[in-house]
Amino acid sequence: MQEKIFSLHQTPKYMKVAIVGATGLVGGKMLQVLEQRGFDVTELIPVASERSIGQLVKYKGKEYKVVAMEEAISMRPDIALFSAGGATSLQWAPKFAEAGTTVIDNSSAWRMDSTKKLVVPEVNAAVLTKDDKIIANPNCSTIQMVVVLQPLHQKYKIKRVVVSTYQSVTGTGKKAVDQLMNERNGIEGEKAYAYPIDLNLIPHIDVFLANGYTKEEMKMVNETKKIMGNDSIRLTATTVRVPVMGGHSESVNIEFENDFDIQEVRDLLANSPGVKLVDNVSKLEYPMPLMAHDKDDTFVGRIRRDESQPNTLNCWIVSDNLRKGAATNAVQIAEYLVEKGIL
């Protein structure tokens, strides 16, 4: 069966595109996704930190030399896909925007800025206008959840969500991947985490806040409300790092105002953009990170009624955090801007 991947147009108009953070994990995925989705780039501008200037990155079989920020800005790209950290985005995204570039930023820098749009194309792309020169890409764990929540909310009206995440080490970056593999191979090396991650899990993602939650947990709360345009949805989260590659997983409990039929829920999700239903327990079919790896869809399964209270549903959501959770979502935003003539 052909994958159902949300895309408004597979061959957008030719574009001059900068990738800021081109030598990182997500930057590399952005290059891969641009090529695979057919986003025709007339001129690629890979950008990275000072120590990476002059390095070569590959795109469509060709090698491109990494340039500095100032040089990239002077080249006036149409779009700049940022994945270089919040401090870099705060410093440089406005400078690209001032030069006329539309920035799609993968860091947390602009997500809760009231003047910036926070976008998951399947959910709220329609909020974008020509005036949006810096667009925020949401947190990976939020993206995959709202892709599933949105069609359910439209049908049954969500009251409350309880989510526990099982997040891949790739969400931390190369240092964390190296720590996991070093531990598996008995090699001493640099640590990304305060504790071993192999044969372990760590209920701690990002920094702890005064309320006892982590920043990652509060991102899910606040970003979900902003993306879905509804402050009345109550949401609580526990986020956990697990020794997994390939994607993030989430156990999600959803309370609705209105009752539902389980088969109707399955049919609704099976026909929702960006969602792939994998839910046949009689054949042991359910979403797993191995299944989601290098895919753009968000997978959902283990759909069942919560028997402890009315109008409440349990489900299991899995997605590749480097693709739909980061690179693919950013490219989809770019596709939408081109398709709608916003650029």
Catalytic residue among 9, 140, 293, 315: 140
CATH of the domain spanning 142-321: 3.30.360.10
State mean pLDDT over 188-208: 98
The pLDDT of residue 9 is above 80: no
CB atoms inside a 10 Å sphere around CB 153: 20
Q: Are 30 and 83 in contact (CB under 8 A)?
A: yes
CA distances from 65 to 2, 32, 52, 104, 105 (A): 35, 17, 10, 22, 22
Q: Given this model, what pLDDT does residue 310 score?
A: 98
Q: Given this model, what pLDDT does residue 4 score?
A: 41
State mean pLDDT over 200-219: 98
pTM for the full predicted model = 0.94
Burial 40-77 (b: 16+ CB within 10 A, else e): ebeebbbbbbeebeeeebebeeeebebbebeebbeeeb
- Catalytic, 248? Answer yes
Give residue 188's pLDDT band: very low, low, confident or very high (50, 70, 90): very high
Q: How many alpha carbons lie under 13 Å from residue 257 in its C-beta half-sphere?
A: 10
Q: Given this model, what pLDDT does residue 11 score?
A: 46
Catalytic residue among 9, 204, 248, 293: 248
State mean pLDDT over 54-62: 95
Homologous superfamily (CATH) for 15-138+325-339: NAD(P)-binding Rossmann-like Domain (3.40.50.720)
- Structure tokens of 239? 């986020």
Q: pLDDT (tens digit, 9 = 90+) per residue, 313-341?
A: 999 999 999 999 999 999 999 999 999 99
Range in 5-9, 69-73, 156-160 with the lowest mean pLDDT: 5-9
In the chain, the percentage of residues whose pLDDT exceeds 90 is: 94
Decide: residue 274, CB within 10 A, 0-12 exposed, 13-18 middle, 19+ buried. Answer: buried
Domain extents in the chain: 15-138+325-339, 142-321
The pLDDT of residue 40 is above 50: yes
**315, amino acid identity:** C
- Catalytic, 315? Answer no
Of 168, 114, 117, 116, nearest in space to 141 by CA: 168
Q: pLDDT (tens digit, 9 = 90+) per residue, 89-123?
A: 999 999 999 999 999 999 999 999 999 999 999 99
Q: Given this model, what pLDDT does residue 2 score?
A: 38
Q: Are 110 and 93 in contact (CB under 8 A)?
A: yes
Give residue 5's pLDDT band: very low, low, confident or very high (50, 70, 90): very low
Q: What is the CA radius of gyration of the chain?
A: 20
Q: Given this model, what pLDDT does residue 13 score?
A: 58
